[in-house]
Amino acid sequence: MAKRRHLGGVILCLALIAPPVAADLPTTVIIGTLPQPAWSQLSTQQKIILAPLANDWEKMENVRKKKWLGIADRYPSMKADEQLRTQERMREWARLTPEQRAKVRDSYKDFNQLPTEQKNSCQEKMGSLFQSAARGKTACSRRGKVCQIANASTAPSRSA
């Protein structure tokens, strides 16, 4: 009986001082996303829809593949303008470096943590900025910086 308690104490101590196992596991194991298909296993329709991502597909985490596959599943039911916008955004995303993608993801997380009032304000500024761009007054196509640009465009100008 004493040996059992001693052994239990040793195991408990080792468990407490050992580094967490999850630190060495890939993100997909922690999140619990099942393995997703390789590019060669996608259907012809999925390959056509996800074509801008073909070069990066094998390097993507399963979580990201699952997200893109979900978009590909919804794609046929999208309106024509939504399909066009989705394809355009995929091409833009594919052109970004991994560092730029991480920065965009962080910006998106930051935006989602804003209070609703600030989100709405930013979206209004983005809308007016895009309308100005459509009229040729300004050029801005990168969504990641739009709110910052919108805020800067409404800020009072400094004269030297």
Q: pLDDT digit of tens for each residue in the chain (160 aa)?
A: 555 555 555 565 555 555 554 445 555 455 677 889 999 999 999 999 999 999 999 998 898 899 999 999 999 999 999 999 999 999 998 888 888 888 888 888 888 888 888 878 887 777 666 566 555 544 444 444 445 444 444 444 444 4
pTM score, whole prediction: 0.57
Q: Where are the domains of the chain?
A: 19-95, 108-155
**Residues 117 and 92 sit within 8 Å (Cβ to Cβ):** no
